[in-house]
Amino acid sequence: MSLKFNQKIVTPEKITDLLPDDVLGTKYEEGFTSLSVKEGLVFLNDRPLNEREKKRGTEVPKISVQQVNVVSGLAKIFAENEELKSKKIFVLCSNNDSRWIKNGPENIRILGYYKENQFVFAAQDPILCHYPDVNPMLPARELFSRDGAVIIPNPEGGQPITLLDKNSNYCQITKLIYQSKENIRSFLPNTPIITDIQAFFYILVTENHEITENMLGMISNEKKREKFQNIKENFYYFYTLFDPEVLAGEKNLFLHYRSDLSVEDKMMLWSKEELDKLWKTIYGGNIKSFKKDKNLDTFKMLAQKPMFIKICRLCARYETSKHVIIEK
């Protein structure tokens, strides 16, 4: 079985009705990515990690090579134990690329495994419970009141249950991102993975300004908030660049790499990033669309569907320390 949580959104007032005093749970790791280990191998989404991921870490979702090395080490240790090696054991990796709320070090937590239709938490297993990367089972009410999130066993078997406080920033952000990804999938059905960056970009270009600012205000992860803030500023910068004169063909705009960059850096950006080529595609598409419908908001309209991925990539990668827009 693949690890999926049966998620329930609740209020603090409801938690006493849902959780008897004797129910034990474990800590919910915000922003985790689930890897699994079995027979000495490490799996992501039920496939073994490839050689590049073993050497450099994964990109989407983001797991550092250091975390991959730790999980690989666990896989080898488990493979030496006759009781553990054949079990598909789930390990959670959490870091600042995946978290929304908490800032902190990279975390590795051994969560548990499925025994037939029942999920067994690592803290409940007589062997796994002795490993250092295992969260203890504690009174679920206590955990929820402290963190607003907890994982509990499912009394009916199957997927474990996560309880999230509906009033928390994390829960509100999670719902926004989930809905955004579902909306993107409706017009990009064949995209295997939709990123958090794309989800935020969709909110930015389709929702009102207040929703975007409220979301940014809820994100306390400094790295993620700065990244999204930069995307927002880049989007509005490009949006204002496509003024009536540009759209009417009276002046042209070109993306160049800054003159103060070294030749080596420029060549690397040209070959790896190709942002100048991406700009030409987006620029030409906007001019063509404007000639067709004479709408001054054509850039924002194209960002919502036809050129969603391209404009999102442009806004995510454009940096004033490397790039400059030149008018000719």
48 plus 193 within the same structural domain? no
Residue 128 is assigned to a structural domain of this protein? yes
Residue 148 is assigned to a structural domain of this protein? yes
| 305 burial type by CB count under 10 A (0-12 exposed, 13-18 middle, 19+ buried) | middle
160 plus 189 within the same structural domain? no
Query: What integer pLDDT is reported at residue 90 of this predicted model?
Result: 97
Residue 1 is assigned to a structural domain of this protein? no
Distance, CA of 52 to CA of 132 (rounded, Å): 28
Complete edge-to-edge strand list for the sheet that includes strand 32-38: 47-48, 41-44, 32-38, 89-94, 107-115, 118-121
Residue 271 is assigned to a structural domain of this protein? yes
188 plus 307 within the same structural domain? yes
Query: In degrees to the nearest 10, what's the CA dihedral of 51, 185, 107, 83?
Result: -70
Cα–Cα distances (Å) from 87 to 99, 112, 298, 328, in that order, read 28, 9, 54, 64
281 plus 136 within the same structural domain? no
DSSP class of residue 98?
T
Block mean pLDDT (10 aa), the chain, length 328? 88 86 92 93 93 91 93 96 95 91 89 94 96 94 92 91 93 93 94 91 94 95 94 97 92 89 78 86 95 92 95 95 90
27 plus 89 within the same structural domain? yes
- Write phi, then psi, for 82 (nearest 5 degrees): -60, -30
pTM summary value: 0.86
Residue 275 is assigned to a structural domain of this protein? yes
Query: What integer pLDDT is reported at residue 135 of this predicted model?
Result: 94
Domain stops at, among 148, 165, 182? 165
The residue type of 173 is I
Distance, CA of 127 to CA of 121 (rounded, Å): 11
Would you put residue 190 in left (φ > 0), alpha (ψ -120 to 50) or beta? alpha
Structural domain of residue 178, as residue ranges?
A: 170-327
Distance, CA of 100 to CA of 94 (rounded, Å): 11
Residue 318 is assigned to a structural domain of this protein? yes
64 plus 146 within the same structural domain? yes
Query: What integer pLDDT is reported at residue 18 of this predicted model?
Result: 83
Quote the number of domains for the chain: 2
195 plus 135 within the same structural domain? no
Domain stops at, among 165, 190, 212? 165
Query: What integer pLDDT is reported at residue 290 of this predicted model?
Result: 94
Query: What integer pLDDT is reported at residue 234 of this predicted model?
Result: 97
Query: What integer pLDDT is reported at residue 306 of this predicted model?
Result: 94
307 plus 239 within the same structural domain? yes
176 plus 236 within the same structural domain? yes
Domain stops at, among 114, 132, 165? 165
178 plus 148 within the same structural domain? no
Query: What integer pLDDT is reported at residue 185 of this predicted model?
Result: 95
127 plus 177 within the same structural domain? no
The residue type of 146 is R
- Write phi, then psi, for 255 (nearest 5 degrees): -95, 125
Query: What integer pLDDT is reported at residue 26 of this predicted model?
Result: 96
Distance, CA of 89 to CA of 94 (rounded, Å): 17
Residue 97 is assigned to a structural domain of this protein? yes
204 plus 90 within the same structural domain? no
Residue 290 is assigned to a structural domain of this protein? yes
